[in-house]
Each structure stands twice: as structure tokens, then as C-alpha cells.
Amino acid sequence: MTTAAQSPITPTTEPESVLALARQLRVDAIRATTAAGSGHPTSSMSAADLAAVLLTRYLRYDWSDPARRGNDYFILSKGHASPLLYAMYRAVGVVDEPELLTTYRRGGRLEGHPTPKLPWVPMATGSLGQGIAYAAGIALAGQEMHDEPYHVWALCGDGEMAEGSVWEALDKAGAHKLGRLTVIVDVNRLGQTGPTEYGWDLAPYAARARAFGCAVLEIDGHDVREIDTAYEAAVSADRPTVILARTVKGYGCAKVADSPDWHGKPLPADLAEQAIADLGGPTHLRVLGPGPINADRDDGTATGTGVPRVAPVHVPSPAPLPVEAPGFAKGEEVGTRAAYGKALVALGEDQDVVVLDGEVGNSTGTGEFEKAYPERFFQMYIAEQQLIASAAGFAARGWRVHAATFAAFLSRAHDFLRIVAIDGPPIHLAGTHCGVEIGPDGPSQMGLEDIAMMRCLHGSTVLYPADANAAAQLAVATNKLSGISYLRITRGAYPVLYEPDEPFPVGGSKLWGEGADDVATLVGAGVTLHECLAAAEELALEGLPVRVLDLYSIKPIDARTLRRCATDTPLVVTVEDHRPEGGVGEAVAAELTDVPCMIRRLAVRDVPGSDSPEHNLDRAGISARHIAQTVRDTVAGSIV
């Protein structure tokens, strides 16, 4: 048995030691999962040789400083093979044996699927087909921002190649010739329920990856020499490399190897004991792999594998440059999209700001940034999953990222947003063309579920400006936020309601026309604020004074003002160009559950159609006319 006192395994170590390390990774994966009574030993064992060669000879990483900018990335796209990842961490000395044996348990940081609770994990994985997308995003950021020449390694399963998102990612990787990206596919031929779509037939994967612009290498994933040769080719390729490694699930334990019955199951104690013994028992090999690029060795040369030393053109600063939002004259008709575009241009003064587009930049406003700062504008085309994954990739490198498409199409990336929200880096999104207000384009283009989707994300901020000054200020404000921020943006141009110097703090609101005799508070945001103000005018003429609350910050919500209004007026009417579920109305209702007031919620309850914005708002029952009538009916009702 090897002990910790032995010399570490280094990049120049003989293949036999690499094989010994692979055995240790397998043993540790078995030990951790059997101790937990849960997890995926067999999916870890298939990839242990691939991991051992990578760790020993290719992954240039300073394990004492995971924030070091020259570090390579290793992203475990097949997140269920986390025991392998944790075994790797033990081998490099950042996780000790007792911690390894807490895998999956006690709320520790070694979770069932890796999350950024671990400082070496940039993005959570476990929803398959996503790790490769984030890897492409991080590689894209590195190449396009002339960052240090770190390499990005993604380890995928063969099952996840059925996800369209994998090909969406490889399309971008191929088109940008991301030589710094290597995707290792652990083709162990078995999914959760049985054989994968193509089993051990590597030909379909090879043809596809090539067609998507990648270099392709087919290897035996248990032959360390073949693995080594493939990695060596990958690090110097002029395009992304996809390594298709034929492997055996559960390799190293004959009883479970290549069996469809052992997915996601820990080995029972007796079988585990036998398997561990067959693999040579627990060992304590320590790996000292290549250091990060641009780190000096004792002999004055850079470490890594022959990568030339380079300094990045520019390293983003953690502190955003203070930027003044553009202002618009009160009364002028300006779209919030136009204001968003101008705000992005203003933010562009901060040279750490980048903008990503989903091929709708002339509709969302991001096209303005493209004109002003083409070198920091990136076209993701019609590929919303990769839009979000690339945004996260740039953000992981410290860039302040703004990305936009139609609100409706952000739903395409819901699962990606969900994963980024698990302690991922901050990204700032805008969704335009929300609601029935878009008019003629019809329901497929109307964002009507976006507030619910965005509110539900952990740590998110949801903003919905009603005029150009609010939109510009809020867009600038998002630049400093953590988590996922979302700016909901209307299609049409409406009169500017506020002075350019009116402040719009996140978590605030604006109260219009407060009076002691108000019979109702109308709560609007975005386009419905204009409808609320029109209704208030109409009602005032009828002797029914109401106040109007501009709830531009939906999450966090201005609970104090809301509660005060609900206490002052017996009726609260919420109006939203969104479905009734999960939006403004429910956010308000949830906030006022202990305030004795009546709440009426106007929202889009049917399938809308193609019509003018005005007709669509009216047909959906969220126009000034309906708001006023709701107040009249309810007030009359309570008098009776």
C-alpha cells in the first residue's frame, strides 16, 4: 500500500503510476458511495482512466488557489459521476479521506451532483447536456477576450449526447474554432434504464462532432497511452476536440462491469469490499499535476504543457465602473427597449461589460451596444440555451454580462437558468416583447410566463420598468447585482413618466397621486402602469380617487409601501400583462396575506391573438377601461 509520504505522481510519472491512480479513483468512488448508501460508482469507474491521465499530465491547475486566472477548467458534465470528481480532489489533496466519506451526506459540500459550493466547480452540473455548454462558454470567453490560454476540459456521458443543447454548444464551439475546448465523451454505452441510443457505436458521434466543426479522436478509454496521445493532440488543436472514449461502465469490478442493472446504485458492503480488494485496496497516492499557465517553475520556465506564456489583454476588475444612466425628457414617447439599448452603450464605458445577443439585437436594443463596442458584443444566433451558457461562461471569468432576447424565448433556457441560479456567477438578462402588448405577432411571441419563471429562480432580481428613464436606470443598476437579474421590457413606445434624475432603487416603487380618501390602490408595472394612470384619471373625474403604485421592482418587492397602501385603501387592484399565476398579482397577494384588504387581480387569462396593442390589452381585460370598471364594481359592491 502506498502512503502519503511517497513521492507524488507528477506529469513525468510512468504510465504504471497513472494506472495506480486510476485504481485509487475507482476505489474511492466505491468507498464514498457505499458509505453513503447512494450514488453512482459505476459511472465513475468508467471514466477513472480518463480522469487519471488528465489530472496527472494535462490539467494545469493550482489547487491551492482555485481563483487563479491561469488555471484550466475541468467541468464534469456527467455530474452524477461526482464520486470520481471527489476522488480526484482527494488525489490532489484538497479533500481529505474523512470528507470523501461524507459524500452526499449531512449537508456537506460533496453533494450528489457537484455545485459551486466547491471552489473548484465553476458551475453546477447534473442536468445533463449542460456542462459542455458552460465549458464552451468559458472557452469562448477566454478566446474572444484574449484571456490567458487556459484550457477547458468537459467530461460528458454518452447518454447526454441526445440533448440538443450539446449540439447547440458544439455549433458555437466549432464556429469559433475553440481550440482550447476539449470534450471527453465517456462512451460506456449504458444509460439509466439500459443501452444508450447508439451503444458503443462511435461512428454517429464522430460524424456529428466533425460536422459541427470539431476534431474527433476515437480511443479506448481504458488505455492510458491512447488517452495520453489524444489529450496531447487536443491541447494543440486549432478547433475544439471531441474525444470519443469507448469505456466499460463499472470497469474494475467484474461483477458490475458492463451491466445495465448497476446504474446509480452503490455496491453493497460485501461486494464493495471484494471490489476494493481486487483493485488493490485503498491507497493514498498524491498527484502533483502540471501547474497553471503563466506560473513560474523553479527553473524559470512556465508550467503547463508547452503553452507559451502570455498575459491577457485585460483582466476585468471586480468593481464596476460607476456609470450614469442616459436620461429622457418627460412626455417624450420612447420605448423601454430603446432606453435599454442606450443604457447598455452607457455601461459600455466600463470596459468589463460584454453583451450577448440571440439574433434579435435590432429588436431588443443590444444592437446599439454592437455599434458602439463591436469587440465586446457576441452574436449567439438563435440559440437561447447557449446564450445563457455563454453568458455564464463570460461571467465566470469576471466579465459583467448582459444578454437579451424576447421574453418568450428565454423560456427555452429555463433549465439553464435553474442551474446558473445554483450559486453560479451573476448574469444580467433582458426579455423584450413581453405580454399581449406586442400586438400583431401573436401568442407564440408573447412573453406571458416570464415573471413567474424568473421570480422562481433562487437569488434572482426581477424588474419591470414603465418608462425609458426607469428602464435606463434599472439596466445600469443590474450591472452591480449578484445572481440572475431580469429586466422585463415592453415592445411599444410610451410617454416618459419620470424626470431623468428620478432614482429607481432596486426594491423600491413609485407612488402616484396618494390621497387620504383613496378608495383603491392600482398596482401596475411596465405597460399596465400607463393603463392604471389612465384609469385613475377617469375615476377621479367620477369622484373615485385612487392612487397608483408603479411596482417596477417585482423581486425584491417594496413590501413597506405595498402594505401601507393596502392598509390605507380597502381595495388593491393588480394589473399585469402576464398570466395570473406567479406574476405581479400573486407576488402582491403573497405580500399582503396579513393585511385585511380586498385584492382584485387583472391578468391575461385566455389565449391572446393578433391585434393592435390597444385592442389586445383591452381583450385581455387589462386596459384602463377594465381597471376602472373593476374599481367601480368593487366599490359599489362593498357599499351594497
> Active-site residue numbers?
384
- Compute the CA torsion angle 189, 194, 196, 201 (nearest 10 deg): 50
* Distance of closest approach, residue 592 Cβ to a copy of itself, in angstroms: 8
172 three-state secondary structure: helix
Q: Name which of 312 and 580 has its Cβ closer to a copy of itself.
A: 580
Decide: is 184 part of the binding site for a copy of itself (CB under 8 A): no
* Distance of closest approach, residue 474 Cβ to a copy of itself, in angstroms: 20
Decide: is 544 part of the binding site for a copy of itself (CB under 8 A): no
The helix (run of H) or strand (run of E) holding residue 185 is strand 181-187
* CA proximity to 472, closest of 481, 463, 459: 463
Decide: is 551 part of the binding site for a copy of itself (CB under 8 A): no
> By CB under 8 A, what part of segment 285-324 binds a copy of itself?
none
Among 93, 312, 442, 508, binds a copy of itself (CB under 8 A): 442
End-to-end CA distance of the chain: 88
**Which among 108-116, 291-299, 340-348, 498-506 is the span making contact with a copy of itself, rule CB under 8 A?**
108-116
> By CB under 8 A, what part of segment 322-381 binds a copy of itself?
357, 359-363, 367, 379, 381
604 half-sphere exposure, CB direction, 13 A CA radius: 23
Q: Name which of 289 and 424 has its Cβ closer to a copy of itself.
A: 424
> By CB under 8 A, what part of segment 194-213 binds a copy of itself?
196-197, 204, 207-208, 210-213
* Distance of closest approach, residue 513 Cβ to a copy of itself, in angstroms: 23
* Distance of closest approach, residue 210 Cβ to a copy of itself, in angstroms: 7
Q: Give residues with Cβ within 8 angstroms of 98, minimum separation 6.
A: none
Query: What's the longest Cα–Cα distance across the chain?
Result: 91
442 three-state secondary structure: coil
* Distance of closest approach, residue 105 Cβ to a copy of itself, in angstroms: 7
CB crowding 151-188: b at 16 or more within 10 Å, else e:
bbbbbbbbbbbebebbbbbbbbbbebebbbbbbbbbbb
List beta partners, residue 216: 242
| Contact map string, positions 67 to 96, toward a copy of itself, x by CB under 8 A | ------------x-----------------
Decide: is 455 part of the binding site for a copy of itself (CB under 8 A): yes
Decide: is 437 part of the binding site for a copy of itself (CB under 8 A): no
Q: Name which of 256 and 293 has its Cβ closer to a copy of itself.
A: 256
Report whether 217 contacts 230 (CB < 8 A).
Answer: yes
> By CB under 8 A, what part of segment 576-635 binds a copy of itself?
579-582, 585-587, 589-590, 592-594, 596, 598-601, 606-607, 609-612, 615, 619
Among 112, 320, 500, 621, binds a copy of itself (CB under 8 A): 112
Decide: is 255 part of the binding site for a copy of itself (CB under 8 A): no
271 phi, psi to nearest 5 deg: -65, -40
Q: Name which of 60 and 176 has its Cβ closer to a copy of itself.
A: 176
Q: Name which of 2 and 364 has its Cβ closer to a copy of itself.
A: 364
323 phi, psi to nearest 5 deg: -130, 140
Measure CA 525 to chain center: 26
Among 411, 545, 561, 563, binds a copy of itself (CB under 8 A): 411
Q: Name which of 131 and 149 has its Cβ closer to a copy of itself.
A: 131
The helix (run of H) or strand (run of E) holding residue 540 is helix 527-541
Q: Name which of 128 and 217 has its Cβ closer to a copy of itself.
A: 128
* CA proximity to 258, closest of 46, 25, 38: 46
Q: Name which of 162 and 315 has its Cβ closer to a copy of itself.
A: 162
* CA proximity to 422, closest of 123, 119, 113: 123
Interatomic CA distance for residues 516 and 95, integer angstroms: 63
**Residue type at 100 in one-letter notation:** L
Among 147, 148, 163, 437, binds a copy of itself (CB under 8 A): 163
Compute how many residues bind a copy of itself; rule: CB under 8 A: 112
**Which among 92-100, 284-292, 334-342, 574-582 is the span making contact with a copy of itself, rule CB under 8 A?**
574-582
* CA proximity to 157, closest of 133, 129, 120, 137: 129
Indicate the pairing of strand 73-76 with strand 546-550. Answer: unpaired
434: left (phi over 0), alpha (psi -120 to 50) or beta: beta
